[in-house]
Structure 1
Amino acid sequence: MRLAALLIATGLLAACASQPFDPAADIPPDAVPTTRTEANGDVITEYRVAGQLRVVRVEPSRGPAYYLYDRDGDGLPDKEGDNPPQTYFKLFEWN
């Protein structure tokens, strides 16, 4: 019984590891990127479709990059507490 539970748990973990999360995959293929560098070294890339903001990628000078999405189409990044949450971090990547 313990062996079966261990095998199931191992299989579930392997399935999770084989499905990498890529926040950049949600960027529309026809989006036009515009990049700027802030005074503190942060790199901000805005992705727009037909002039409307869709995704903002923030690459801080320290720490992991994160993405802000506009899923409701109002031209502003979604508010905190929205479902799904507005900010996505890519902490690890396997090659």
Structure 2
Amino acid sequence: MAGCASMGGASDDPTAALKGAEVYTRSVENGDTVEEYRVGGQLRAVKVTPSRGPVYYLVDNDGDGRLDSSKGEGTVSPVYYKLFSW
């Protein structure tokens, strides 16, 4: 196991650092579960648990209440995938 540099944990979950967050959970008709994390009423992160595939996160890194987009294109990114868990 010396070749394993990453052991996972809370650092893989961007929602772990959100202290006192209110979590709103809803299910989408395709079976996905969406969890919104709000701090002080502002949307800070979204965790999407698809019915198939890995969990991914959409994060507001600059604290403006909107999910970050890349290069002003209007699309939400980056998406964080948790690939391994022990």
TM bin, normalised by shorter chain, reads: 0.7 to 0.9
Could you tell me the TM-score, scaled by structure 2's length? 0.77
Unaligned runs of 5+ in 2: none
Q: Percent identity?
A: 45
State the partner residue of 1:29.
19
Alignment CA distance shift 1:17-1:72 (3 Å): closer
Alignment CA distance shift 1:88-1:81 (3 Å): farther
Moved over 2 A (4+): 24-27
Q: CA deviation at 1:72?
A: 1.3
Relative to total residues, which structure has the larger helix share, 1 or 2?
Answer: 1
Q: Which has the higher contact order (CA 8 A, sep 6+)?
A: 2
Structure 2 counterparts to residues 12-91 of structure 1, below 5 A: 13-14=3-4, 16-18=5-7, 20=8, 21-24=11-14, 26-80=16-70, 86-91=78-83
The 1-side partners of 2:16 and 2:68 are apart by 14
RMSD: 2.3
The 2-side partners of 1:56 and 1:40 are apart by 17
Unaligned runs of 5+ in 1: 1-9
